Structure 1
Amino acid sequence: MMRVLILMLSFFVADGTDRVIPTCTAEACFTLYLKEKDLETASENCVNNGGNLVTMRNDNEFQSVKSALLAAEDSILNSTLWIGLVLLKGRCTDFTEELHGFRWTSEPNESKYSKWKNKPLRTCTEKRCVSTSLADDLKWTDGSCKDRAFYMCKFLSKGMCKPIVMENPGDVNYNLPFLDKPQTQSEKLAMLPHGTWAEILCGGSEDAESFLSVCDNKDGIFGWTNSERFCARDNRSCARKNGGCDQLCSETAGASVRCGCRERYYLTDDQLSCALRNNCENSPCESKCIPTATGFSCACADGFQLFEDDISCVDIDECHRSICGEHKCHNTPGSFLCECNPGFRIFAGKCEDVDECTESRCPQGCLNSQGSFSCYCHAGYDSLPDDRGTCTDINECLDKPCEDICLNTVGSFKCSCRENFVLAKNGISCVHDPTENAQNTPSPVHREEFVTKLSHLPVSFESTTINPPPLNKTNAKADSTKRRESLLGSSWILVCVLASVIPLVALIVVISVVLWKRSKKATLKNTTADNYCWVSSGLDKERKKATFN
């Protein structure tokens, strides 16, 4: 007993957080793993145990997964759960398919059934995986496969056995093929899959009788081997746990009991359990027959409904419900067909807007709208009035945006300036080049050489020479020095001005002298002194003497 307790304690310590909740139906078993894993790890765990991640290829599978989750003891309402639906890397999202390009991880890989919550991410380079949640009514959401979530495995079985019915007190441990941990009667498993072996301990103690039984196929009916009655005693009676019978119990001679079943049920090979007979054999239902406890009921396929006789089926005209919206609707037997308006296409039976902008309809900008699209040109371009969708370059220079020179470019323009000017910070105006004055201004040595050359230039025209009156040499030298210093101290702009003015002044002086001489000669020639003689007053002699002295 101590060894058993130690083993149980080590199991809960090592794997206590990885809880597994099994659930079985008449068709398959499900195991819910309450420890978050990435999808690759979860899928490998399911395959290694002989199963696959759960799928929802149709409404029956959807309802089975939903029932298994609702039967879980733990509340997982807001938890996410991986399902076996992935978009492989290198495969593109395709919104024209119900699965949007995703594929199931187990066969068959494709189906027309879908439960998307939102459109998945559009990609061709990333592997995407799908999860679901009871909070979203098990609608699908895609995400990164590296995320972590709970997961559920599905195990198909050839058949199922009902739990063992104990006629007397005892314990049963069920060892399911895909679980490492034995399941007890307290797990409340409604069915057990083929291949499950049960360890039965009668009397509830280690000294009591124990034996094994296996869920196996016996002539087309699955049941437990080795014993038809578990932990039976000769003195059993219907008064004690109904004699171990599933339904009816009757006592026989010799202190024994006999089990029986109610109407429409039959006794299975264990002589304890009862199974419902197939009430749908030779039923008059036109489409489907559903067995019930009291008989059967008829049902119809999708797109049909029961007629007044509750046996026949008639087509449902879905077009009366405006199922196609503003698009045309054509009724078909059991279904309908939408004829989409231009700019729309069929998706999952409904008309959905086509995003023309993903098809490169416009040379530049594109704006999608319901059922249509519009093109527009980028800045610097304009559309031609007679050709929709064509963009031509705008010649911005026609509007003279630049202060000086404008150069048109594709989709824009560029301003520039003439020599000695540069562009301002606004890219439009022109300002003086600050480096140009420094380059054109001569050095002080060059300015002095230029002034010296100007001072030595002779002022002569033809044969006439202007001789200014003699000046005091000292004063002349001082004046020359002052003028040179003044010139050297002037700016280069003043030198340039003087260089331009001096020749002009010299020309004016020469012309004035020539005109004066000609006027003097004419005056002397025409003067008669009115018959008077010119007599010297002696003033000239006095001037000469003053000059020589």
Structure 2
Amino acid sequence: MAALRPLPLLLLLLAWRCGGEDAEVLCASSACYTLHRSGSAWEKAQERCRHNGGSLAPVRSAAEAALLRELLDTARWDGPAWIGLALPRGRCVQPQEPLRGFSWVAGGEQGNFSQWESEPGDTCVSARCASLRAGRGWRAGGCQTSLPAFLCKFSFQGMCGLLPLAGRGSVTFSTPFGVRTARLAAAPFGTLAEVRCEHGERSSYAICKGPLAGGGFAWDPPGPLCPVACGHHNGGCQQLCLDGPGESSPRCACHPGSVLAEDMTSCIPKDFCHPNPCQGSCRPLPGGFECGCEPGYALAADGRGCSDVDECESGPCQHLCHNIPGGFQCHCPPGYRPAGPAGHLCHDVDECAEPHACPQLCINIPGSFRCACRPGFQRQPEGDSCLDVDECLRDPCPGACRNFPGGYECQCPPGSIRDGDGHGCSPGEAIPNNIPQSSGITPQSSGITPQSSSIAPETSSSIPRSSSSIPQSSSSIPGTPRIPWTTSIPRTPGMPTAGLGAGSGEHSADGPRLLLYYIVGSLVAILLLLAFALALVACRKRAGRREKPPAKNAADNYCWVPEQPESRGERRKQKQK
């Protein structure tokens, strides 16, 4: 018989029947919780849970608290039961913490969930242990107190579902943690199920095995157990019952588009997307499936694969487009920066906004920039630097030319004035000889004081050629007071005078330069006049010496000594004698 194939394992599992105990069990997900109605202290209850591979039950979350509450309600237990929460001796109660300083003996993360019915007493000396009462919360008490029940938790890798039965029968489950029960909605890995069929002489057995090749856990044999003929309630099958020649018992099957469930009697819609037959996403449909692709991909011709879409063919970018798997990227050429939605546009970069882009002038152009020089400068052949242009090399002025960075100016000769732009000369205007007098300079020479002189200069020379009066001198009066004298300063054409040019709007731009010419010309004329006056005085002295030669006598060879006051009395005495 198929149910007797795993004989060694079956014999091992049959040994559990001898030591199993009856207890309320609730299995869900990957853990089973048990309620043991046996009075014991906290340490004894923890020892019994560990003996079977578990621990006193923790309550780390609201979902776990709901499972324990369901277990107590199913068992109709309203008394206290130990849980795996304790405060060791030597540790103090911490009122500000969720667990109040207690910890779960099962280990792992302590968590922040708490459900205290009353606050534990403040102590640091004695050990304290927690209990749970249905419909209430946690309560701390002495660990040596004997309570009538305790809760255990056992963890597993997986669970098997309901054991399918074709006919009537009873099932007794022997769990790996030593508990026998007739009610088990989900059985943990390693659970042995003993089935007694209503019309059978012998018992059948099944065991929860796994994990299977496709994942999950299942009963072996898969059932349904307690087989009957297909004519009796369709053999216990939901859709099709197959009872052909050569088969020891009927078996269940499903219509196309459906598959047998884990109980091997029920049928569920076939999941055509498991395993996924598509390269992308799969959507199940009645009797089939439909494949889909992620954005940036298109469904291939076979209806299952996905191929990349070249978005650059539609021209989404303003300049450069680069296709990538599942999308594209826009790029801007040098001199531009990404802009606009998702960076699909490009804006010109103003390089001239950067400091020191060019030595003088910067001209921004789309995608680049150009350096230029100011008027009067020119760019070097190999570079952006600007060199001054020497305009004077072209001889643009009628007279002298002065070059300066970025331009030039003409130095006009006497008798002409510079144009307004400084690049030419025009004939000067006639200027009257009303030169202001100067009385701050008085020449001195060998006791001769010049009184007045009037010098008539020629029109084109600053050196006087003639004199209408010769200054008189007297050699017999040394220390004669200085007498101021006036001169008529020669005027150079184009040079401003005190009464002309300073306020002229035509030459206001050259006022400082013409004033300098005026001052320098005046000083030169005064110095020439002084030299001329000194020359005349020297000539007069020479002429006087030629007319009256001095008479020579013996006294010329002697030096006259001034009379001393002390010797006058002695001379008088000599005369009296």
Coarse TM-score class (shorter-chain normalised): 0.3 to 0.5
**Bigger radius of gyration among the two:** 2
Bigger helix share: 1
TM normalised by structure 2 equals: 0.39
TM-score for both structures, normalised by structure 1: 0.41
